[in-house]
């Protein structure tokens, strides 16, 4: 390529994450110079000749030949995610859960054994316990803090070790590097649900991960308005396996969703910095409250996962948990939550707005025990000013106390 300004996808490994987020996946020569890739609404792609059709060689993009397998818009999104996450290949699908299930189906068959982290996102656990089990795949759950000890659980049929760090709802930090070393020594692959870190706070491939999954619905989209999932890899053969299964199962990403994913990705590192900073401010304030037993946030020095988090992560997002001391009645917790003015209640997270949820009943364990018997809240700290969020929480604690007549 000549040395002109014709291809803006010129950020390289030497550039900072913010720079790469701004430039990844952009090819203005292909888009009449427009900064953003257009939204290609396409199922049918036409071919100029019989020979081109046989080769599945379309007009300009030689691997775009039918909407289900991608359009120029989804290709730009895949390329940008792969770049930011430090991988080479990315398969995008319609949701984070589709990325999880597609990964498991691509890598496991009847007779295989899967090691799954006990603190995993509950729908992933449910997939393993139902559909994957029906396909003849055995799952063993393991302690998220197991580290190199995972080697004792690896069986001859173990093909995959699945990690998620920090864990959903309970936020244990995993030693992904030690787990990957043990898994690779035994010939097993390692997948990571990297949604908490998004593609910018943890480098999966430098820590031994083979496949990194994102619920792009969360921070990549970042505005609570689209569902997307991604699977990123460095290995071409692995990519072919995942891509083939995505096509067989019929995953397809809509052009509008891919566009919203790209839109979100441009500002991802900048947004995350604020989510992280405000999240720590709110977490510290909570840690000092008499109602709080412990805040589950690896960026706090008193968190048991802090040393690992410091070693492996470049920052925190805005999502963390809060264990309240035992005592408040369910009515008092409802009074706390129902009266919130800035925090809303809702599933999902990663948008610009703050969320709060009572997750007490949702924590599910089989390999380890969850011993805390007080209420557990999950907070997503959005882009509001943290002082306003703290005032909202302070009023909530007052309502909680009043409801129990304290
Ligand atoms: C939300 C989430 C998912 C699933 O993503 P969807 O887009 O909602 O299907 C998977 N893993 C983690 C850690 C999540 O938080």
Q: Which atom of ligand 1 is nearest to the CA of 218?
A: 1
Give residue 304 CA to ligand 1 midpoint distance, Å. 24
**284 and 260 within one domain:** no
191 has a pLDDT exceeding 60:
yes
Q: Whole-prediction pTM value? A: 0.96
Q: How many alpha carbons lie under 13 Å from residue 386 in its C-beta half-sphere?
A: 16
Residue 395 lies inside a defined structural domain of this protein: yes
47 has a pLDDT exceeding 80:
yes
Per-residue model confidence (pLDDT) at position 56 = 77
Residue 8 lies inside a defined structural domain of this protein: no
239 has a pLDDT exceeding 50:
yes
Q: List the alpha helices (DSSP H) in 50-196.
A: 50-54, 72-85, 96-107, 122-127, 133-134, 176-185
CATH of the domain at 109: 3.40.640.10
Enzyme catalytic residues: 68, 121, 193, 218
CATH of the domain at 393: 3.90.1150.10
């998220």: which residue's tokens? 144
Query: Could you tell me if 266 and 22 are in contact, meaning their C-beta atoms sit under 8 angstroms apart?
Result: yes
**396 and 368 within one domain:** yes
Cβ neighbors of 194 (< 8 A, separation 6 or more) are 85, 202, 204, 209, 212, 213, 214
Residue 2 lies inside a defined structural domain of this protein: no
Residue 191 lies inside a defined structural domain of this protein: yes
Collapsed DSSP state (helix, strand, coil) of residue 24: coil
**321 and 226 within one domain:** no
Arithmetic mean of pLDDT, 165-193: 98
**260 and 273 within one domain:** no
Residues 5-36 have pLDDT tens digits of: 555 556 777 899 999 999 999 998 888 999 99
How is residue 327 written in tokens? 């005592």
**95 and 235 within one domain:** yes
Instruction: Please state, for a pLDDT cut of 70, what percent of the chain lies above it.
Output: 96
DSSP string for residues in 34-87: -SSPP----SB---SSHHHHHTT--SS-TT--BGGG--HHHHHHHHHHHHHHT-
Report the alpha-carbon distance of residue 101 to residue 378 in Å, rounded. Answer: 25
152 has a pLDDT exceeding 50:
yes
**389 and 347 within one domain:** yes
Average pLDDT along the chain: 94
**247 and 303 within one domain:** no
Per-residue model confidence (pLDDT) at position 4 = 46
Residues 272-331 have pLDDT tens digits of: 999 999 999 999 999 999 999 999 999 999 999 999 999 999 999 999 999 999 999 999
Mark which of 264, 285, 301 sits at the end of a domain. 264
215 has a pLDDT exceeding 60:
yes
Nearest alpha-carbon partner for 312 in 232, 201, 211 = 201
Mark which of 215, 235, 264 sits at the end of a domain. 264
How is residue 277 written in tokens? 């900073």
Q: What are phi and psi of 154, to 5 degrees?
A: -75, 125
Residue 4 lies inside a defined structural domain of this protein: no
**316 and 250 within one domain:** no
Is 12 exposed, middle or buried, given 0-12, 13-18 or 19+ CB atoms closer than 10 A?
Answer: exposed
Residue 277 structural domain:
268-404
Residue 345 lies inside a defined structural domain of this protein: yes
Which residues are paired to 344 by β-bridges? Answer: 355
Best residue for ligand 1 mutational test, from 117, 121, 125, 321 (most atoms within 8 Å of Cβ): 121
Residue 149 lies inside a defined structural domain of this protein: yes
158 has a pLDDT exceeding 80:
yes
How is residue 57 written in tokens? 């060689």
Residues 376-396 have pLDDT tens digits of: 999 999 999 999 999 999 999
Residue 7 lies inside a defined structural domain of this protein: no
**272 and 238 within one domain:** no
Give residue 96 CA to ligand 1 midpoint distance, Å. 5
Q: Distance of CA 220 to CAs 171, 191, 316, 349, Å?
A: 20, 19, 15, 11
**146 and 42 within one domain:** yes
Residue closest via CA to ligand 1's atom 4 equals 96
Q: Which atom of ligand 1 is nearest to the CA of 229?
A: 7
397 has a pLDDT exceeding 60:
yes
**277 and 238 within one domain:** no
Mark which of 209, 240, 264 sits at the end of a domain. 264
Report the alpha-carbon distance of residue 278 to residue 334 in Å, rounded. Answer: 25
Q: What's the structural domain count of the chain?
A: 2
How is residue 74 written in tokens? 């989804």
How is residue 165 written in tokens? 């760090």
**280 and 198 within one domain:** no
Give residue 71 CA to ligand 1 midpoint distance, Å. 24
Best residue for ligand 1 mutational test, from 81, 92, 94, 96 (most atoms within 8 Å of Cβ): 96
SS (H, E, C) 236-290: HHHHHHHHHHHHHHCCCCCHHHHHHHHHHHHCHHHHHHHHHHHHHHHHHHHHCCC
Collapsed DSSP state (helix, strand, coil) of residue 330: helix
Residues with CB under 6 A from ligand 1: 95-97, 100, 121, 164, 168, 193, 195, 215, 217-218, 227, 229
155 has a pLDDT exceeding 60:
yes
């Amino acid at each position: 390529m000549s040395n002109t300004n014709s291809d803006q996808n010129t950020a390289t490994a030497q550039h900072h994450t913010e720079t790469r987020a701004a430039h990844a996946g952009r090819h203005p020569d292909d888009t009449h110079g427009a900064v953003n890739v257009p939204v290609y609404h396409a199922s049918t792609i036409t071919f100029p000749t019989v020979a081109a059709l046989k080769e599945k060689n379309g007009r300009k993009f030689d691997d775009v030949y039918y909407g289900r397998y991608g359009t120029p818009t989804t290709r730009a999104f895949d390329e940008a995610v792969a770049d930011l996450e430090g991988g080479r290949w990315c398969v995008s699908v319609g949701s984070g859960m589709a990325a999880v299930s597609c990964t498991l189906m691509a890598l496991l068959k009847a007779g295989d054994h899967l090691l799954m982290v006990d603190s995993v996102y509950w729908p992933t656990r449910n997939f393993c316990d139902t559909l994957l089990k029906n396909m003849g795949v055995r799952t063993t759950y393991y302690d998220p803090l197991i580290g190199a000890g995972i080697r004792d659980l690896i069986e001859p049929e173990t093909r995959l070790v699945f990690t998620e760090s920090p864990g959903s709802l309970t936020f244990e930090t995993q030693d992904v590097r030690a787990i990957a070393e043990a898994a690779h020594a035994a010939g097993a692959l390692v997948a990571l649900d990297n949604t908490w870190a998004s593609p910018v706070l943890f480098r999966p491939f430098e820590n031994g991960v083979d496949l990194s999954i994102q619920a792009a619905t969360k921070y990549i989209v970042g505005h609570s308005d689209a569902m997307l999932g991604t699977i990123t890899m460095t290995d071409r053969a692995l990519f072919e396996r995942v891509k083939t299964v995505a096509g067989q199962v019929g995953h397809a990403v809509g052009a509008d969703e891919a566009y919203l994913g790209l839109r979100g990705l441009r500002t991802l590192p900048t947004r995350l910095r604020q989510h992280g900073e405000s999240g720590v401010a709110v977490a510290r304030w909570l840690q000092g409250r008499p109602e709080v037993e412990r805040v589950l946030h690896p960026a706090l020095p008193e968190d048991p996962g802090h040393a690992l988090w410091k070693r492996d992560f470049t920052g925190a997002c805005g999502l963390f948990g809060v264990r309240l001391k035992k005592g408040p009645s369910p009515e008092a917790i409802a009074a706390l939550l129902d009266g919130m003015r800035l925090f809303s209640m809702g599933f999902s997270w990663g948008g610009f707005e703050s969320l709060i949820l009572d997750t007490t009943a949702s924590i599910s364990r089989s390999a380890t025990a969850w011993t805390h018997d007080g209420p557990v809240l999950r907070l997503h700290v959005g882009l509001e000013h943290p002082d306003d969020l703290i005032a909202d929480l302070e009023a909530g604690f007052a309502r909680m106390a009043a409801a129990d007549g304290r």
